[in-house]
Amino acid sequence: MNKPILFIVDDDPQVLAAVRRDLRARYREHYTVMSAPSGEDALAAVRELKGRGDALAMVISDQRMPGIHGNELLARVRDVYPLARRVLLTAYSDIVAAVKAINEAHVDHYLSKPWDPPEDTLYPVVDDLLDSWQVESLPETSGLRLLGHQWSPRSHAIKDFLAGNLIPYRWLDVERDAETRALLEAVGVASEDLPALLFDDGFVLRNPEPRLVAERLGRSLSAAFDVYDLVIVGAGPAGLAAAVYGASEGLRTILLDRHAPGGQAGTSSRIENYLGFPAGVSGSELTRRALLQAQRLGAEFLAPLEVTGISIDSGYKRLAFADGKELVTRAMLVATGMMYREHPARGVTEHTGAGVYYGAATTEAPAFTGRRVIIVGGGNSAGQAAMHLARYAKDVQIVIRRESLHATMSQYLVDQIASTPNVRLRPETELDAVEGDGHVEGVTLRSLHEGAVQPEPVDAVFIFIGTRPQSDWLPAAVLRDDKGFVLTGRDVSAVEKYRQAWKEPREPLPLETSVPGVFAAGDVRAGAMNRVASAVGEGSMVVRLAHEYLTLT
Ligand SMILES: Cc1cc2nc3c(=O)[nH]c(=O)nc-3n(C[C@H](O)[C@H](O)[C@H](O)COP(=O)(O)OP(=O)(O)OC[C@H]3O[C@@H](n4cnc5c(N)ncnc54)[C@H](O)[C@@H]3O)c2cc1C
C-alpha cells in the first residue's frame, strides 16, 4: 500500500518550495508530499490519485491563484475525496477569503502566510488534522468490519456504539453486496447471527452486546480504585470538561458513560459556534480531543457502563452499576444530559432502528446515498443533520409545525439550508405515520392548515424533537422540577421539599443538588442553556465547587 499523500498547491514557486520543504522535513516517513503549481493541475492529479486508489490525507492550497482559486479547488477536492483534510493558505490580510472558504467550501482550517517557525503554526495544525483524518479513514481491506442488514435495529445499535466510541470500522450491508454475502459464507456466519464483527486477526463476534465489543477491543470496564474523590456520570461536554479539570487539579477522577463519550454533542456533524474553532468542529472530533486531554491528565474513563442508582452513606456516595458492581466517591457530578422522547406517530416504534432514527444522522447518512429522507424538527440539531444528510441523500425534507425556521434555528443554518437545492422545508406540517414492511418505505404527513394527510415515499425518518432529561436513575432525595430537570443552588433552596431534604448548616453551593456533594451540570440541570459551551463551563465550575465541598467535609 502506498503512503497517504499530502498535496500542496501554490502558483508562487518559492512558497511552494518552502511548504514542501517544511512538510517533508516532518512527515516524510509516513506520507508522500506532492505539489502542483495551479488548481487545474492539482485537480487533474487528485483525480489520477483516486483512479489509482491512493489515499489523499490533506490538500493545502493557496487562495489567490490564476484560474481556479483555492476555495473552489478545495470544494472540488471534497467531491473526489470527502474525507481529505482541506487547508487554505491566505495572506494575513485575506480574512474575507478565509471566511468565505469556511462557509462555502467547508474547509477545515486556514493558515496565514508566512508561518515561520513551522513548529509554532504549521505543524500543530497539520498534526491535528492528520490525527483526525487517520481516525476517520480506514484502509479498504483492513480494520474492523461490521456485517449486517441495514434495516436491523441491532446493526444500528452496534454502528452507533462504534461511531460514538470513535472506533473506525467498515460497514458491509449483506443485502446490497454479493461480495459481502460471500465473505459471510467464508467466515461461517449464519444470517440469524448478524450483525457480525470481523476483526483483523480473523476473530468473529456474532450478534454481540456493545459491552462484549468493548471488552474484545481491550477497553477496561472496571474501575482501578474502590474510592474516588470525584465520579462523573455522563461523558458529554459537561462531564468531559469536569474530567479535564478534576484530573488536572489532582482529584482522583473517574468518568463513566452508559454509551460512549461525547453525549449529544458527539452526534453533531458540525458545531459551528464553539469558541476557538472558526471552521467549526465535528462532535466526534471535539470528543476525541477532550477525551484524550482528560485521559492524558490522569482521568479514568469507562464505557459502556450505566449507573442505575446512588445511595448516600454518611458523606460517601455509593454508585450502583447495571452490571451489579459498585463504586464509592466523596463528590459526584450528574452530567447525564438529555435524550429524545419517543415520537407518538403510528409506525414509529416498530421502525425504530429500521429507518427511523433518533439523532444518529452522522452514523446513518452514508447508507442513504441517493435516497429520500425526512427530518422531523426545526432546531439547530435538525439543521445540522439536514446539511449533513444533503451530502448523501438526493432529497431531504424538514418537517416542522411552525411556519418557518427563524424562531428555532440559528441564521447561519437557515442560510445554508436555503442555498442547498436538495433540502426542502415542509412548514406547518407534522409526521402522521410511518409506513413499511420491515423497514421504512414511506410516511404520511399531515398539513396543520387543512388537516389533509399526504403520503410521501421516503427511506428514512430522522427525529430531532422532544427531549427529556436523563434523571430517572437518581434517588428521590435529589430534587427535580416537574419535568425531571435536576435543581441546583438557589433553585433547590426555593422549593418546599428542600427543608426536609437539606440538613447542612450551610446553603447549597452553586450547581450543588439537594444532596450535599452531589453536583449537576449541563443539560440535565434545571435552567441549563443547552449549549456545548455552557455545559463545558458548568462542568469546569463543578471541580472548583467539589474542592470546596471536599474541604468542608
Ligand atoms: C445533533 C445535535 C447538534 C447540536 N449542535 C450544537 C451546536 O452546534 N452548538 C451548541 O452549542 N450545542 C449544540 N447541541 C446541544 C449540545 O450538544 C448539548 O447542549 C450538550 O451536549 C449538553 O451536554 P451535557 O454534557 O450536559 O449532556 P449530553 O451531551 O446529553 O451527555 C450526557 C451523557 O450522559 C450519558 N448518560 C445518561 N444517563 C447515564 C447513566 N445513567 N449512566 C451513565 N451515563 C449516562 C449519556 O450516554 C450521554 O453521553 C447539539 C445537540 C445535538 C443533539
For ligand 1, whether the C-beta of 380 sits within 6 Å is: yes
For ligand 1, whether the C-beta of 531 sits within 6 Å is: yes
Window from 109-118, 447-456, 516-525 with minimum mean pLDDT: 109-118
Instruction: Calculate how far, in angstroms, residue 524's C-alpha sits from the geometric centre of ligand 1.
Output: 9
Average pLDDT in the 466-494 region? 95
Instruction: Calculate how far, in angstroms, residue 264's C-alpha sits from the geometric centre of ligand 1.
Output: 3
The confidence score (pLDDT) of residue 138 equals 62
- What's the gap between Cα 125 and its chain centre? 21
Instruction: Calculate how far, in angstroms, residue 262's C-alpha sits from the geometric centre of ligand 1.
Output: 7
- Rounded to whole angstroms, the Cα distance separating 91 from 194 reads 54
For ligand 1, whether the C-beta of 543 sits within 6 Å is: no
Instruction: Calculate how far, in angstroms, residue 493's C-alpha sits from the geometric centre of ligand 1.
Output: 27
- What's the gap between Cα 237 and its chain centre? 11
Instruction: Calculate how far, in angstroms, residue 265's C-alpha sits from the geometric centre of ligand 1.
Output: 5
For ligand 1, whether the C-beta of 384 sits within 6 Å is: yes
Ligand 1 atom closest to 385 (CA): 1
Nearest CA to ligand 1 atom 22: 523
Query: Residue 235 to residues 140, 300, 335: CA-CA distances in angstroms?
Result: 31, 11, 7
For ligand 1, whether the C-beta of 54 sits within 6 Å is: no
pLDDT in tens, 47-84: 999 988 899 999 999 998 999 999 999 999 998 998 89
- The preferred substitution site among 274, 334, 336, 388 for testing ligand 1, maximizing ligand atoms within 8 Å of CB, is 336
Closest residue by Cα to residue 204 from 259, 145, 270, 279? 145
The confidence score (pLDDT) of residue 372 equals 98
Segments of 322-420 assigned E as strands: 326-334, 338-340, 356-358, 372-376, 395-399
Q: Containing H/E element for 240?
A: helix 237-248
For ligand 1, whether the C-beta of 304 sits within 6 Å is: no
Q: What is the mean pLDDT of the chain?
A: 92
Q: Containing H/E element for 206?
A: strand 204-206
Map grid coordinates 434555528 to a residue: 409
The three three-digit cell numbers of residue 149, written as one number: 442488514
pLDDT for residue 139 is more than 70: no
Rounded to the nearest 5°, which phi and psi values hold at 15?
A: -65, -45
For ligand 1, whether the C-beta of 532 sits within 6 Å is: yes
Ligand 1 atom closest to 306 (CA): 42
Strands 442-447 and 453-456: antiparallel
Question: Could you please report the per-residue DSSP string of 43-60?
Answer: HHHHHHHHHHT--EEEEE
Angle, alpha carbons 384-387-390 (nearest 5°): 145
For ligand 1, whether the C-beta of 529 sits within 6 Å is: no
User: Which segment, 86-90, 339-343, 520-524, is predicted with the most confidence on average?
Assistant: 520-524
CA atoms 67, 71, 76, 77: torsion sign: positive
In this prediction, what percent of the chain has a pLDDT beyond 90?
75
- The preferred substitution site among 231, 264, 306 for testing ligand 1, maximizing ligand atoms within 8 Å of CB, is 264
pLDDT in tens, 403-442: 999 999 999 999 999 999 999 999 999 999 999 999 999 9
Spell out the long-range contacts of 167-171 with Cβ–Cβ below 8 A and sequence spacing 24 or more.
Answer: 167/217, 168/135, 168/136, 168/137, 168/138, 168/143, 168/144, 169/138, 169/143, 169/144, 169/145, 169/197, 170/138, 170/140, 170/143, 170/144, 170/145, 170/146, 171/146, 171/366, 171/367
Confidence band of 239 (pLDDT split at 50, 70, 90): very high
Ligand 1 atom closest to 521 (CA): 26
299 in helix, strand or coil? coil
The three three-digit cell numbers of residue 66, written as one number: 490564476
In this prediction, what percent of the chain has a pLDDT beyond 70?
99
Rounded to the nearest 5°, which phi and psi values hold at 301?
A: -135, 130
For ligand 1, whether the C-beta of 363 sits within 6 Å is: no
Instruction: Calculate how far, in angstroms, residue 286's C-alpha sits from the geometric centre of ligand 1.
Output: 12
Query: Cis omega before residue 117 (within 30°)?
Result: yes
For ligand 1, whether the C-beta of 389 sits within 6 Å is: no
Of the CA atoms within 13 Å of residue 471, those in its CB half-sphere come to 29
The confidence score (pLDDT) of residue 477 equals 94
- What's the gap between Cα 103 and its chain centre? 20
For ligand 1, whether the C-beta of 522 sits within 6 Å is: yes
Buried b (16+ CB within 10 A) or exposed e, 443-478: bbbbeeeeeeeeebebbbbbbbbebebbbebbeebb
Instruction: Calculate how far, in angstroms, residue 268's C-alpha sits from the geometric centre of ligand 1.
Output: 10
Ligand 1 atom closest to 305 (CA): 43
Amino acid making up residue 358:
Y
The confidence score (pLDDT) of residue 141 equals 47
